[in-house]
Structure 1
Amino acid sequence: MPLTVFMLNNQSVDTIINARWVIPVTPRNTVLENHSLVISGHKIIDILPCENAAAKYTANETFELNTHAVLPGLINAHGHSAMSLFRGLADDLPLMEWLNDHIWPAEAKWVNEDFVADGTLLAIAEMIRSGTTCYSDMYFFPNISAKVATEHKIRTQICFPVLDFPTAWAQNADDYIHKGIELFNQYRNSDYVTVAFGPHAPYTVSDAPLKQIATLAEQLNAQIQIHLHETAFEVQESIEKTGMRPLQRLANLGLLSPSLQCVHMTQLNDDDIALLAESKAHVIHCPESNLKLASGFSPVDKLLKSGINVALGTDGAASNNDLDLLGEMKTAALIGKAVSSDASAVNAHQALEMATINGAKSMGLEDKIGSLEVGKLADIIAVDLGSIDCQPVYDPLSHIVYATNSHQVTHSWIGGEIHMNNRQLSMIDTLHLTERVRKWAEKIKAADAAN
């Protein structure tokens, strides 16, 4: 058969990514050498050896990533995106002093729609450049956060805040919930935005709204995210005021379910872990923020061995101070070993799962994202392992967790659309964004100095 006739029979596709290694995450501990990802529309339609891809498909665009590992886009399961504008504002302080004396007063003064728009876009730019393609956000003016994410085509779970007291966005718990339900309905069919309930914490939300959230979330099949068991003080105060640990209180109110995402969870006993395992609630581990605020250590190895889904988050840049999920993976693995006194605990693949498929599971999106599988959305990143400081490469999966940094992320695709090509962002005007951020910083710094 003439070559020209054979080529005409090739299937036309949008993109082929030829990679030195493909790390699909599912199946576990799998590394495919010299394989191609084939993308048509928004989805992965094939994963096969490079030579077979060349024979089977003709692509509009082909990427030759001969020194790269290609893996699912990372999923940052907890953060406060707009707080990137407060990065470094009040460092080296205990949690409650940090919140009460610095962060909450700064929020009261500065947080408005423009602040959230610019802060969210700043966070998105940083996350894409460090390998994140989907993130969870809990902050004020979630309608603005959702709009910015949609405009820039990045996947997000927007957790609209619920508190008992007024803020710039709402007046009371009923007002927060009412506005949140409107947002949920607005984005019900969105390709990029999933709306979830975001009661801030047990100490800022009373029983009645928590019960209401449990009922509404079940009716709407929506997720719930809450800061929980973050500090020893929080747990002790709950026992003194209610006679119960916070997790038990949530269980009594009907919140403990597979829809619940429990953020931080540094203060856990065996009864807490048993409750989590029985309910199939998720834990969102934020190791670097917990370290910086001296909040404690989440017993990740125990949680994983109890069958609890543990995902990974950065928290906000005000308490981290970055949104680099690659760095968070390494920290999570190292702390997991130290806390359990077991060098084999929280191994490289478990850490990678926490930053990918486990995050997808916590958001109820595991059938769409979190691993590289035929039929899933093409949310993909490439990490260059070819530099001299990364040699030799015995195990690329282990290298991703222990031997890389965010600057080695070179490419990013979300739903098959390229968002970063050789470190250049394609959907964000970084020049004008940097100028707007500089103006915010000048105002915030001047006001803080005046105090």
Structure 2
Amino acid sequence: MTARRPTMIRGGRLLRPGADTAPAADILVEGGRIARIGPPGMDMPEGCAVIDAAGCLLHPGLVNGHTHGHGHFSRGLTDDLTLETLLAGSFWFNGNRRHEDKYLSTLVGAAEMVLKGCTACYDLFWEFPTASQEGMVTAGRAYSDVGMRAVVAPMVADGSFLASVPGLLDAIPDALRDEITPWTAPTADALLARLAEIDDAWPFDRDRIAFGLGPTVPLLCSDAFMAGAGRMARERNLPIQTHLSETRIQEVTARHRWGRSLTEHLFDLGVLGDTLSVAHAVWLNERDIALLAEAGVTAVLNPSSNLRLGSGLPRMRALLDGGMTVSLGTDSASCSDHQNMYEVTRLAGYLSHVQSPDPARWVTSTEAARAATEGGAAALQMPEIGRLEEGRAADIVFLDLGWVHWMPLRNVTMQLVQAEDATAVRHVMIDGRMVVRDRQLLTVDLARLQRQVSDAVARLDAMNTGNAALFRKLQPIVGRFCSALSPFPQAGAAPLPPASGPDPDLN
């Protein structure tokens, strides 16, 4: 392989964590890493390529701590879902997929992310009936072809959603239940063996496209599988992520089943650890936060998705004050409709303003920006990303400071969080290579991708007509049952208390 020429980035203004101003600096990039940062005009090696970054703010690539590559074909499909009805409708949203469809769906999300300043993500990728080597490699190939970093983690369980909520299956009329395609869940041992096989045969450079684990929701997983996944993560040094306490009904169900919170149950199973990240983390109490923080778990908050699905508001201030590392994510386009980390970062700060009248309890722009960069690096277990420092990866976003929302230029960190919406993204460099230049994606023909996606979606929509009709019959039953089982509390209500036994509301 031909060695890459070193690159000198001249005259950009370098964003430092939490800084008010961004002084001009030059950056020397060698072998995909930041070799040196110095004053404008510093010496450079002979034969060095030069990128003129005058008028640009340089910040580390944003890191999307939680998304689903399989879900991007569901954008704009419906706007009346809760998480529970979304889970019940997966046979419609993701039905009849070929591997090429999975590739295109993931490619769409990856292309959107890099065009909007995101250079790495954690993808919990779902396949029916279970994860396959070919499917996971297909998703990894999409990220590799776009040029971004990713952790690709099979989203798997050895149980089903409809069976996970007490009494839900019985609430479905017999005739309708008979229409639902029967599915035999794989055993815990079979799932763990499959994950080990995929990991053993992983074909990508793990510094760029890593393999991870994704036991989807603890309530859908047996204790044997959750504990086994935690062991596998430790033994193989793999990142692992699960959806934790995303909705109130998950916590209510956990107390009904185990007499304790989901976090306490995972602690008892030995799953908590510093390679674990937990997506959403909305319905946590102080005891849960303490357990997660002590174990070194990273929380990945998804405010856009939580608002879209009506799941509740994460308490970012409580998580930070409790000692947790916090990351941010977009979630899937099926429940967030975008892959814009700037929007998520702004929401993460602003939502704290409606949770307390005291500005001292609000999430600062510095904290939100760190969650979108360094926090994401922790979730992905990629310590080389998330900051622009010598020795770290050259994953750099160039923002055009001549863009209108940077006028006037005052506090760069505040404006990055409060004003940036991805429209000022001029260039994006990942691993020292330009992936976006002058707002054009260099690695994917978007016009061709649009034609491919349009053809694929037209075919899938026609094939899934019956699935859509079946879901519309099932949706109101699931929705009513789940809302009755766990009514949403009034705004500002405290989280569920520590669980020392079954919740008295369930008796």
Same fold (TM > 0.5): yes
Match of residue 308, structure 2, among 286, 292, 296: 292
1:120 aligned partner, one-letter code: T
Note closer, same or farther for the CA distance 1:386–1:302 as it changes in structure 2 (3 Å cut): same
Match of residue 49, structure 1, among 24, 39, 43: 39
**Cα shift at 1:278:** 1.5
Match of residue 176, structure 1, among 191, 202, 208: 191
DSSP-derived class of the 2:363 partner? coil
CA distance in 2, matches of 1:178, 1:287: 34
**Cα shift at 1:168:** 10
Instruction: Describe how 1:276-315 pairs up with structure 2 within 5 A.
Output: 276-315=292-331
Q: Give deviations 1:130-177, integer Å, cap 9, x for gaps.
A: 011101101133221112223333210111222114899984443433
CA distance in 2, matches of 1:218, 1:421: 40
**Cα shift at 1:449:** 5.5
Instruction: Describe how 1:127-276 pairs up with structure 2 within 5 A.
Output: 127-140=113-126, 141-165=135-159, 171-187=186-202, 189-276=205-292
Contact kept in structure 2, 1:348 and 1:401, CA below 8 Å: yes
- Higher mean C-alpha deviation, range 281-290 or range 238-247: 238-247
Q: Give deviations 1:370-425, integer Å, cap 9, x for gaps.
A: 10010111111111121234310111221111111112111111110110001111
CA distance in 2, matches of 1:236, 1:161: 23
DSSP-derived class of the 1:217 partner? helix
Equivalent residue, structure 2, for 1:8: none
Equivalent residue, structure 2, for 1:348: 365
DSSP-derived class of the 2:67 partner? coil
Equivalent residue, structure 1, for 2:419: 403
RMSD: 2.2
- Higher mean C-alpha deviation, range 72-81 or range 159-168: 159-168
Match status 1:364 vs 2:381 = yes
Equivalent residue, structure 1, for 2:104: 118
CA distance in 2, matches of 1:272, 1:112: 40
CA distance in 1, matches of 2:445, 2:428: 16
**Cα shift at 1:192:** 1.1
Contact kept in structure 2, 1:277 and 1:306, CA below 8 Å: yes
Match of residue 6, structure 2, among 14, 20, 24: 14
- Higher mean C-alpha deviation, range 161-170 or range 368-377: 161-170
CA distance in 2, matches of 1:23, 1:184: 37
TM-score (norm 2): 0.81
DSSP-derived class of the 1:301 partner? helix
Equivalent residue, structure 1, for 2:73: 85
DSSP-derived class of the 1:406 partner? coil
Note closer, same or farther for the CA distance 1:87–1:238 as it changes in structure 2 (3 Å cut): same
CA distance in 2, matches of 1:59, 1:399: 37
User: Aligned pairs, how many?
Assistant: 433
Q: Which has the higher strand share?
A: 1
**Cα shift at 1:66:** 2.3
CA distance in 2, matches of 1:168, 1:399: 50
Contact kept in structure 2, 1:137 and 1:158, CA below 8 Å: yes
Contact kept in structure 2, 1:78 and 1:284, CA below 8 Å: yes
Contact kept in structure 1, 2:159 and 2:222, CA below 8 Å: no
CA distance in 1, matches of 2:403, 2:20: 23
Contact kept in structure 2, 1:21 and 1:32, CA below 8 Å: yes
CA distance in 1, matches of 2:156, 2:53: 45
List runs of 5+ in structure 2 lacking aligned partners: 127-134, 161-181, 470-507
Equivalent residue, structure 2, for 1:333: 349
List runs of 5+ in structure 1 lacking aligned partners: 1-11
Equivalent residue, structure 2, for 1:6: none
2:226 aligned partner, one-letter code: L
Q: Give deviations 1:322-377, integer Å, cap 9, x for gaps.
A: 000011100111012322433352111111111111111222212x1110010111
Contact kept in structure 2, 1:230 and 1:264, CA below 8 Å: yes
**Cα shift at 1:30:** 6.6
Note closer, same or farther for the CA distance 1:243–1:169 as it changes in structure 2 (3 Å cut): closer
Contact kept in structure 2, 1:90 and 1:98, CA below 8 Å: no
TM-score (norm 1): 0.91
1:38 aligned partner, one-letter code: L
CA distance in 2, matches of 1:277, 1:449: 46
CA distance in 2, matches of 1:219, 1:169: 29
CA distance in 2, matches of 1:263, 1:229: 8
Identity of aligned residues (%): 27
CA distance in 2, matches of 1:192, 1:114: 22
